[in-house]
Structure 1
């Protein structure tokens, strides 16, 4: 299976993966992103949006964000002649990804450019606010956010 096929491998719609979230992959070309393929997904160039939904029972607005996200990409793409790549965090890897990207609130869209962190848009917003925040993100430089590495370092006891 090719790397791109691995991203698009269907994950069945179960109670843990609501149909509105699965729809992002099935109808809008989003990639399932998890611990095993994050670095490969990040290595692709351009603007990327990674959705971390959280538990839809606890955070039902994640379903609203899943509906708005393709429209946001379509609108920004039309106005800026850019393709925004979508990723959806796999439920079983969401907590680790939330820690890696210093998630502030569930659900969140993590905005990345050329694999580097730009910003995050958390929670459900009014359409005009989404557009404003997205326009700001397009103008931002990549930010320096301490992304948690899986490799041990001397500071966290990696060397003995």
Structure 2
């Protein structure tokens, strides 16, 4: 008996292969995500999840290459495999997959979560690409040393 939440790894592998071979969107592993972002300049990474659990993955995998083809200057784009997607989702506090993570020179720019309407996708990507680099969202509060005087007064 098949578990309903067990990943359909064969179909997922076929999807990733098709995105690479037909649309030139390479698959990134955990080891390659930061290197890709640093080398790519303006980059966008599609984060995925098990399509059995999140069927929108199939939709976004079809729509994103079509939307990229309509953009005047599309970002360099790749697809994170399951492990890399989970790593990036945790790093950027992404709560809804699929998602798109935008970086410039390796630094965080923004995120689009979930499936968007076809007419909204292109403008949302272009808007996010134009946004300035910003502090990445995450869990917790930035830590400062006591010597920085960050606790309300000058350090003694």
TM (normalized to structure 2)? 0.74
Mark the runs of 5 or more structure 2 residues left unpaired by the alignment.
1-7, 146-156
Q: Hey, what's the Cα distance between the residues in 2 that align with 1:34 and 1:20?
A: 15
1:133 aligns with 2:144: no
CA shift for structure 1 position 147: 6.5
1:25 paired residue among 16, 20, 23: 20
1:121 aligns with 2:116: no
TM (normalized to structure 1)? 0.73
CA shift for structure 1 position 131: 2.0
2:66 corresponds to which residue? 71
1:46 aligns with 2:37: no
1:90 aligns with 2:81: yes
Q: Deviations over 1:34-75 (max 9, x none)?
A: 221222112114221111111101100111001111112111
Q: Hey, what's the Cα distance between the residues in 1 that align with 2:74 and 2:41?
A: 8
RMSD between aligned alpha carbons? 2.5
Cα pair 2:43 2:75 within 8 Å, conserved: yes
Q: Hey, what's the Cα distance between the residues in 1 that align with 2:40 and 2:87?
A: 23
Answer with 1 or 2: which has the greater Rg: 2
Cα pair 1:21 1:63 within 8 Å, conserved: no
Q: How many residues align?
A: 135
Q: Hey, what's the Cα distance between the residues in 1 that align with 2:13 and 2:89?
A: 19
Mark the runs of 5 or more structure 1 residues left unpaired by the alignment.
1-12, 156-160
Q: Deviations over 1:98-121 (max 9, x none)?
A: 111221311101112222211111
Q: Hey, what's the Cα distance between the residues in 1 that align with 2:79 and 2:107?
A: 17
Q: Hey, what's the Cα distance between the residues in 2 that align with 1:54 and 1:35?
A: 14
Q: Hey, what's the Cα distance between the residues in 1 that align with 2:11 and 2:82?
A: 7
Q: Secondary structure at the match of 2:123?
A: helix
1:6 corresponds to which residue? none
